[in-house]
Structures are given as structure tokens and as C-alpha cells.
């Protein structure tokens, strides 16, 4: 059977302000798309799974299909839906997804009319009892994707992440990875988080989400161990410019440095890099069964996203360039507090 890799989550219309004050509006984006692009750097059998309103541009979907992504799993839902996502990266390195009017005023540009009355891109994603309109649900799974080699669930509704993994197993999906939604990574929702951690093969939060869940003073190694005790088989923590931590079920913890050195001038936009990492990791774990090597593949995917604006730029990347970058990645020297392996 041909290997098929599916990324589930959101397709969005992106509006962003870069750290140096440049504005980019109306770009095709969304975590499912960035993850799919990250996966497609390593394989051509990548499918999208998302719900879309009638107002999502059809010509973008046509372009995705033309570029080789399987759009069978895209589901139109009635009416216009809110697909807007806004991010502003400030000069001091912070990312803010609220108050676009203030950020456009900061760079002395008018607020795009499309962002009027914008709150943030994830309303309702922390509700374990309700599916928001664009939240994937088990009944949305397309029969064409049955038996998929791997599915990555991008940041999404808590309820979606709670109930989808068990359904995917019923339909023959062999590997499931989950990147949590930032809104539900809070202490009071830990009992709901614990319901699906044992059902997935890898849990992939960011350092900021770990801080939100467990407090800013927690060490990433300790956080990974705690998540393992809650049922996570494999924990991968994305730490931005400091790389990635991979915690395996056997107690082995590995730190990996990113492809780009600090202040690398090739890095122009960090939007979607974490999602692209997850897509590359999904393919790597399914094809090599080596979590550390999979993380390196994910970092290569992220590196290619970082060097362009928008999700589609990296689709033009050559496999030879990806392999070249993979060979350059090294494993950090083990910290004295934990074991590490060299790959």
C-alpha cells in the first residue's frame, strides 16, 4: 500500500507583521497547510484534512492540488466562516495574536478592513464539550484516507483532540502525532488532556505551552517526564531558536540544535515553522522509527519555511537540499541531568 501522510487542522487566511515592521495580508496559511508543506519536503503522498467555509478561496485549493497536495479531505461547511489569523512579531521577539489595530498603528499602516472586529484565531478551542464550527470531528474522516500511514493533528479544538485519535485507530491509521492547541494548555484542563495522551504516538507542545500548563519555572526535561507519566509515549518540545527536546519512553532525553544559527540572515519569517517541523517529524518517525532522526527531519522542514513568506514557498524546495541540510544537523552534548543518544 502506498504510504499516505495526512495533516489535520485549520486552513486559514493569514495576516502578519514581521519583527522588522513589514505587513503581509491575505496569504494562504493555517497549521494544517504548514504541516502538510513540512511533510511534503520528504514525501509526495500528503493529504489535507480540514473544514472550510464557503468563503474560503477556491483558487487557493486548486493551487494546492496542482502542487501535489491531496485535497480529498477538505470539507466545505455551510455559510461564511471566520478563517482569519493575525500574528505580529515584535522587535523584542514576542509574538502577539491579538489587537491587530494597535500593531498596524505601530508600523504606521491602516488596519486592513478584513481585520475589523478581530479577536484571535482560536475562540472556543479550550472547550472540551463543544465543537466550534471549523473544528474537525470524528465523522469528518474521509474514507479515502482509511489506512493512512500517519496523521498529524495540528493545534485545534480540545474536543477534536480528545475524540479523533480513537476513531483514527478504528480506520487503520498506524501513527498519530498531536501538536496541542495553546488555549487548552492550562492546568485546569489537564484531566481532559490526559484522556487522549495514551492514544497518540507523539505529543508535540511548544516551550510556551509547557510554561502555560506547568508554570514558567518548570524544566523542559521534567515537563517531558511528567507528560510521559500522564501517558504520552513520546514527547517532543519545540523551543524555537534553542532547538528541540525529544523525550522517549525509555527515559532517554535528547536536545537538538536548530539548523539556523542565531541571527542567521536567511531567517525572515517564523510563521508556521513549528507546524512544518511537525509535518517533517511525522514523516520521519513513520519512515525511520527513530525519534531523534525524525526530529532532525522536522527541523529541516522548519528551516525551509523560515526562509520565505507564506506556506507555499517551501513547496519548491528540492529533496537534495533537504538531505544536504539533514546531514549538517548535530546532536547537542548531553546535559548531566539526563541521558542522550547520538544519531
Write down the pLDDT at residue 332.
57
Catalogue the long-range contacts made by 314-318 (C-beta closer than 8 Å, 24 or more residues apart): 314/37, 314/38, 314/41, 314/276, 315/37, 315/40, 315/67, 315/68, 317/41
Q: What is the pTM of this model?
A: 0.91
- For the cut 50, the answer to whether the pLDDT of residue 164 exceeds it is yes
Dump pLDDT digits (tens) for 133-153. Answer: 999 999 999 999 999 999 999
The larger pLDDT score, comparing residue 140 to residue 258, is at: 140
What CATH number belongs to 5-328? 3.40.1190.20
Please write the tens of the pLDDT for every residue from 48-65: 999 999 999 999 999 999
pLDDT at 308: 80
- Mean per-residue pLDDT for 62-69? 94
Instruction: Tell me the backbone φ, ψ of residue 199, rounded to 5 degrees.
Output: -95, -5
The pLDDT of residue 338: 45
Given a cut of 70, whether residue 334 has pLDDT beyond it is no
- Is 179 a residue whose pLDDT tops 50? yes
Residue 340 confidence class, pLDDT cut points 50, 70, 90: very low
pLDDT, one tens digit per residue, over 75-107 is 999 999 999 999 898 887 778 888 999 999 999
Instruction: Read off the pLDDT band of 309 (50, 70, 90).
Output: confident
Partners of residue 255 on adjacent β-strands: 245
Contact 139, 77 (CB under 8 A): no
User: Cell for 260?
Assistant: 539556523
Q: What is the pLDDT of residue 318?
A: 77
Q: Which pLDDT score is estimated for 343? A: 33
Neighbours of 86 (CB within 10 A): 25
The whole-angstrom separation of Cα 35 and Cα 298 is: 10
Residue 267 three-state SS: coil
Per cent of the chain over pLDDT 70 is 95
Amino acid at each position: 500500500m502506498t504510504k499516505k501522510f495526512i495533516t489535520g487542522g485549520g486552513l486559514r487566511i493569514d495576516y502578519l507583521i514581521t519583527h522588522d515592521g513589514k505587513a503581509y495580508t491575505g496569504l494562504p496559511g493555517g497549521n494544517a497547510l504548514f504541516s502538510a508543506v513540512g511533510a511534503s519536503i520528504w514525501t509526495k503522498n500528503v493529504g489535507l484534512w480540514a473544514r472550510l467555509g464557503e468563503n474560503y478561496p477556491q483558487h487557493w485549493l486548486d493551487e494546492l492540488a496542482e502542487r501535489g497536495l491531496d485535497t480529498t479531505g477538505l470539507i466545505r461547511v455551510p455559510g461564511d466562516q471566520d478563517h482569519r489569523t493575525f500574528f505580529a512579531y515584535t522587535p523584542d521577539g514576542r509574538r502577539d495574536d491579538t489587537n491587530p489595530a494597535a500593531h498596524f498603528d505601530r508600523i504606521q499602516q491602516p488596519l486592513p478592513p478584513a481585520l475589523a472586529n478581530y479577536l484571535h484565531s482560536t475562540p472556543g478551542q479550550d472547550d472540551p464539550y463543544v465543537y466550534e464550527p471549523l473544528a474537525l470531528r470524528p465523522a469528518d474522516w474521509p474514507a479515502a484516507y482509511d489506512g493512512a500511514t500517519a496523521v498529524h493533528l495540528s493545534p485545534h479544538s480540545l474536543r477534536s483532540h480528545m475524540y479523533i485519535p480513537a476513531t483514527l485507530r478504528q480506520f487503520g491509521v498506524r501513527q498519530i502525532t498531536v501538536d496541542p492547541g495553546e488555549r487548552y494548555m492550562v492546568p485546569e484542563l489537564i484531566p481532559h488532556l490526559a484522556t487522549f495522551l495514551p492514544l497518540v504516538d507523539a505529543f508535540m507542545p511548544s516551550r510556551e505551552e509547557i510554561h502555560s500548563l506547568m508554570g514558567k519555572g518548570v524544566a523542559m526535561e521534567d515537563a517531558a517526564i511528567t507528560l510521559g507519566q500522564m501517558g504520552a509515549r513520546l514527547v517532543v518540545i519545540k523551543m524555537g531558536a534553542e532547538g528541540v527536546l525529544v523525550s522517549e519512553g525509555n527515559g532517554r532525553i535528547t536536545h537538538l540544535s536548530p539548523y539556523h544559527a542565531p541571527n542567521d540572515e536567511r531567517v525572515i519569517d517564523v510563521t508556521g515553522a513549528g507546524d512544518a517541523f511537525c509535518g517533517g517529524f511525522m514523516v520521519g518517525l513513520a519512515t525511520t522509527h527513530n525519534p531523534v532522526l525524525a526530529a532532525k527531519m522536522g527541523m529541516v522542514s522548519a528551516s525551509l519555511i523560515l526562509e520565505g513568506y507564506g506556506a507555499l514557498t517551501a513547496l519548491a524546495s528540492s529533496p537534495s537540499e533537504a538531505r544536504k541540510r539533514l546531514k549538517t544537523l548535530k546532536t547537542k552534548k548531553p546535559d548531566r541531568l539526563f541521558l542522550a543518544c547520538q544519531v
